[in-house]
Amino acid sequence: MLHQLFPHPDLAEALLPQAFDVRDGAHDEAHLLRVWRNVAAIRSQEGGDIEVLQAATLLHDCVWVDKTSPERPLASRKAAAKAREVLCSLDWDKERIDQVAHAIEAHSFSAGIAPVTREARILQDADRLDAMGFIGVARCLYLTGQRRASLYHLTDPSAQERPLDEDHFALDHFQTKLLHLGDHMQTKTGQIMAHERSARLKTYYRDLLEEIAGGELGGA
């Protein structure tokens, strides 16, 4: 069972039913487990409250807001508010609830909230690591297919002569977000972990553009 893979299995068992209001292949239990493993790897070097980190990890995506919604930047705040309610029902004290809520609020790329605690910095790094490397590519393409968007612009795949449009083209999302995540890691350990994943992501993007260009030129 998934809850047994966490250091506080009773807490995990209590929180997992609250982890998602909407679930998809990029935001599911597998995502939570990957993020937790990133959290644990970073914490092993950076320290941090393991119970706060586990609660924040399990609840960081507990409220879903569509990517195209104008309320998308509020998703992490909504998740933090729900997390407060859940943890209050488990009789957590206010200070620790505040720590979890801040980590959840600050993990989001679109929210633009700076993490001010060690736990918040760790969760932000851990979640962003899951948007990098090969798993980041897989999640990006999954979500592109889910919203019936295109892989790339037919005549200008790298947006040399047009505005970037990540809502309609997967490769544009690489430029607007994914390729730059490694430049903004909050912890030293996160920076080290991001280095290899960033390289994989950049290699994929470059090689895919080469294949696209070859196809346009009539190459096999």
Two tokens, residue 74:
């509020």
What is the percent of the chain where pLDDT is above 90? 86
- Residue 129 contacts residue 194 (beta carbons within 8 Å): yes
User: Model's pTM, two decimal places?
Assistant: 0.92
Residue 46 C-alpha from the chain's centroid: 20
Q: How many helices (H) and strands (E) does the chain have?
A: 9, 0
CATH code of the domain occupying 131-220: 1.10.3210.50
Mean of the per-residue pLDDT values of the chain: 93
Mean per-residue pLDDT, 80-87: 98
Mean per-residue pLDDT, 25-50: 96
Q: How much is the pLDDT for 219? A: 39
- Residue 53 contacts residue 123 (beta carbons within 8 Å): yes
Residues of each domain in the chain carrying CATH 1.10.3210.50: 1-120, 131-220
**Can you tell me the distance from the alpha carbon of 196 to that of 148, in angstroms, rounded to the nearest whole number?**
30
Q: How much is the pLDDT for 156? A: 97
Residue 24 three-state SS: strand
pLDDT digits (tens, 9 = 90+) for 106-124: 999 888 899 999 999 999 9
Q: Spell out the residues 6+ positions from residue 47 whose beta carbon is closer than 8 angstroms to its own.
A: 118
Amino acid at 127: D
Instruction: Identify the band that residue 216 occupies on the pLDDT scale cut at 50, 70 and 90.
Output: low
CATH code of the domain occupying 1-120: 1.10.3210.50
pLDDT at 218 over 70: no
Q: How much is the pLDDT for 214? A: 87
pLDDT at 188 over 70: yes
pLDDT at 198 over 60: yes
Residues composing the chain? 220
pLDDT digits (tens, 9 = 90+) for 17-30: 999 998 898 899 99
- Residue 27 contacts residue 35 (beta carbons within 8 Å): no
